[in-house]
Amino acid sequence: MRLRLAGAVLLSAAAYYVYLPLPSGVSEPWKLMLLDALFRSFLQLVSMLSSVFISLKQYIEVIEARSCAAVHVTDSTLGGVPTRVFQPKEGKQLKRGVLYFHGGGWALGSGRMRSYDRLCRKMAEDLDAVIMSVDYRLAPEAVFPDQYHDALAASRAFLSSQVLERYGIDPHRVCVSGDSAGGNLAAAVAQELSLDDTLTVKFKAQALIYPVLQALDFYTPSYQQNQAVPILYRPIMARFWLQYLGADSSLEPLLLANNHSSLDQPAISASARSKLDWTALLPPKRRKHFRPVVKETGSPGVMGEVPELMDVRAAPLLAEQGVLGRTPKAYVMTCEFDVLRDDGLMYVRRLQDAGVAVTSDHYEDGFHGCMVFAFLPMMSSVGQRSMNNYIHWLDQNL
């Protein structure tokens, strides 16, 4: 009897920890609740271990580079940056190429994680393409612009004649891609390299999966609507930004209040503000009933302390229209239940205004990170749909 009672208490406690009220439209809510519980537990473990100076990287689930019947898998380097390479064993002699940057808030994750390994294997096989998944340096040991420099170095090496010839990649069919923070790096690299006229080979496409693109406005409609929707909560995204930019974590409340982007900040021009003016860039369906939160006066010292907030290499949404107009055709995936939804949708609009061909792929039942949950044991319906549509776009446009 006591064992049953103890079991019931433990079960109730587990259910209480896992349960979270979710919007009615989100895909498979109980799976998302479980994912969220696991992610929260991981972050708590991260915090606890950090306090006793234990590295977190050893707890990331990485797997060995194992080849299979269809795909040859090896660990190598690109421009000095660790990279996992996926090469189809059959198919055409000259193949398409995709350079991929994983997500994780510039602080977590690895291209060698099981989820990314599976994604890249499937891409290599389905597309008959060489996929290179980059393991850029992570915060807090590395901060901006280290991650960006790693992404840029890997990209330049990927586009070099030596690498293209070695792996049999068609120089006319190369793409840069990434999800979340990796989407940020992919967008930044696409902008930078589009301006480099010394390159003989450039990316022909950019595929951005729920990218994070700005840190000036934490009150976009999607930040307001989804601030309590897992797995990427609004405070966690602010924390990731501060860690990435090497800033003091005590600034988090100021960012969350939009005090850092108040009207009395001389570093933020009217032109810069227009680049993320969601009242003009988002359609009414996404603006809904939400209102902008713009402070007349804020914390004037923040921009001086963290000038990287205005650096286009960190915040690609702030790029000039002339720069955007030189970037390759784009695919941008967004999810309704994601704080970063409007970053992606505003980037779609700005790219379109600059004359770039853009495919906007929006998932009304999607949540942040859904695409990497396309495989067992945490397979989700929207994860499978989004992954298949992403790969289909690459197949049709690369």
Residue range 245-259, pLDDT digits in tens: 999 999 999 999 999
Q: Where are the alpha helices (DSSP H) in the chain?
A: 2-18, 29-51, 114-127, 146-158, 161-167, 181-194, 221-225, 234-244, 252-256, 270-274, 278-281, 284-287, 301-305, 321-324, 341-353, 381-397
- Give the model's pLDDT for residue 30: 59
Q: Is the pLDDT of residue 33 over 80?
A: no
| Residue 324 placed within a domain | yes
| Residue 145 placed within a domain | yes
Total domains in the chain come to: 1
Of 33-37, 131-135, 332-336, the one with minimum mean pLDDT is 33-37
Tell me the mean pLDDT in the region 380-397: 96
| Residue 309 placed within a domain | yes
**Which among 315, 322, 368 is positioned nearest to 346, based on CA atoms?**
315
Cα–Cα distance between 60 and 80 in angstroms, integer?
22
Confidence of residue 36 (pLDDT cuts 50, 70, 90): confident
| Residue 227 placed within a domain | yes
Per the structure, the complete domain to which residue 122 belongs is given by: 61-397
Catalytic sites, residue numbers:
180, 338, 368
- Give the model's pLDDT for residue 13: 39
| Residue 20 placed within a domain | no
Cα–Cα distance between 250 and 202 in angstroms, integer?
41
Q: Which residues fall within 8 angstroms of residue 53, CB to CB, at 6 or more apart? A: none
CATH number at residue 259: 3.40.50.1820
Largest CA distance in the chain: 77
Cα–Cα distance between 21 and 105 in angstroms, integer?
24
| Residue 363 placed within a domain | yes
Cα–Cα distance between 224 and 256 in angstroms, integer?
11
Confidence of residue 92 (pLDDT cuts 50, 70, 90): confident
Q: Is the pLDDT of residue 77 over 50?
A: yes
Q: Is the pLDDT of residue 40 over 70?
A: no
Is residue 193 a contact partner of residue 159, using CB atoms and an 8 Å limit?
Answer: yes
Express each pLDDT in 297-331 by its tens digit: 998 889 999 999 999 999 999 999 999 999 999 99
| Residue 24 placed within a domain | no
- Give the model's pLDDT for residue 237: 98
- Give the model's pLDDT for residue 44: 62
- Give the model's pLDDT for residue 73: 98
- Give the model's pLDDT for residue 5: 46
| Residue 391 placed within a domain | yes
- pTM of the predicted model as reported, rounded to 2 decimal places: 0.91
Confidence of residue 85 (pLDDT cuts 50, 70, 90): very high
